[in-house]
A and B are shown apart, each in its own frame.
Chain A
Amino acid sequence: AQTVTQSQPEMSVQEAETVTLSCTYDTSESDYYLFWYKQPPSRQMILVIRQEAYKQQNATENRFSVNFQKAAKSFSLKISDSQLGDAAMYFCAYRSGGGADGLTFGKGTHLIIQP
């Protein structure tokens, strides 16, 4: 079974600074997808960024980018120019590429933005 580990229960960053959230995973598969989701206090789960395991290029979405290290099974999220609206829980998630499986989530990192 796959597992996803987020080792930082909470992170704090000054507004406009850069922060990196870590995520590692364990799998024996070669084909899979990785995601970062944001959950603000409204509880809505919002997709931030996704990465296909077969792509070597790191995904980027505006101020959000990932550092995908397949051999190390690491998938960290970098948020540049942090904004107050980025404050939320961030969850890393894994999905097998071959089947109809649901997502496997980490326990989350609570991101605090200091004004």
Chain B
Amino acid sequence: NAGVMQNPRHLVRRRGQEARLRCSPMKGHSHVYWYRQLPEEGLKFMVYLQKENIIDESGMPKERFSAEFPKEGPSILRIQQVVRGDSAAYFCASSPGSANYGYTFGSGTRLTVV
């Protein structure tokens, strides 16, 4: 039973390019959460999605960031026109429904903007 799969593990983008981060939740999990971790910081909540629906995007920056979780395929976090400040580790977590038992996290994608 594979865990939460994130790819790529490392991603380097030049300023102004687009970054696409993928997350495949655990089998049977229909809830996906994205978090961002800046250096020396804890994780910050970005967005919560269920299949084909954004439930809570209160942590998403207003511009350049978007997320989706289509009926088929992985969840995608998309960052357009990346800037140096977007450099961080991005984590995905999934849960089967209620997340009160704690989520299962992926290993993260480290985005470096050069």
The answer, yes or no, to whether A78 is at the interface (CB within 8 Å) is no
Contact A50 B42 (CB under 8 A): no
| Contacts A43-B89, A95-B99, A95-B100 given; does A104 touch B45 at CB 8 Å | yes
The answer, yes or no, to whether B91 is at the interface (CB within 8 Å) is yes
| Contacts A50-B102, A101-B56, A102-B33 given; does A43 touch B108 at CB 8 Å | yes
Give the distance to chain B from A106, nearest Cβ to Cβ, in Å. 5
Contact A42 B107 (CB under 8 A): yes
Overall SS of chain B's interface:
strand
Q: Which residues of A contact B99 (CB under 8 A)?
A: 95
Binary flags per residue of B37-69, CB closer than 8 Å to A gives 1, else 0: 000111111101000000110010000000000
The answer, yes or no, to whether A105 is at the interface (CB within 8 Å) is yes
Q: Which residues from 3 to 54 on chain A have a C-beta closer than 8 Å to any C-beta of chain B?
A: 4, 6, 33, 35, 37, 42-47, 50, 52
Q: Which of B40, B89, B103 contacts A103 (CB 8 A)?
A: B103
Chain B contact residue count (CB 8 A cutoff)? 26
Chain A contact residue count (CB 8 A cutoff)? 26
For A42, A45, A50, A101, the residue with the greatest tally of chain B CB atoms inside 10 Å of its CB is: A45
Q: Which residues of A contact B44 (CB under 8 A)?
A: 105
Q: Which residues from 87 to 114 on chain B have a C-beta closer than 8 Å to any C-beta of chain A?
A: 89, 91, 93, 99-105, 107-108, 110
> Please, how many angstroms separate the alpha-carbon atoms of A6 and B42 in the complex?
10
Contact B35 A102 (CB under 8 A): yes
Q: Which residue of A lies closest to B101 (CB)?
A: A50
Q: Which residues of A contact B100 (CB under 8 A)?
A: 33, 52, 95, 97
Give the distance to chain B from A29, nearest Cβ to Cβ, in Å. 14
Instruction: Give 7 nearest A-B pairs by CB, closest first.
Output: A102-B45, A105-B42, A45-B105, A47-B102, A105-B43, A107-B42, A44-B107
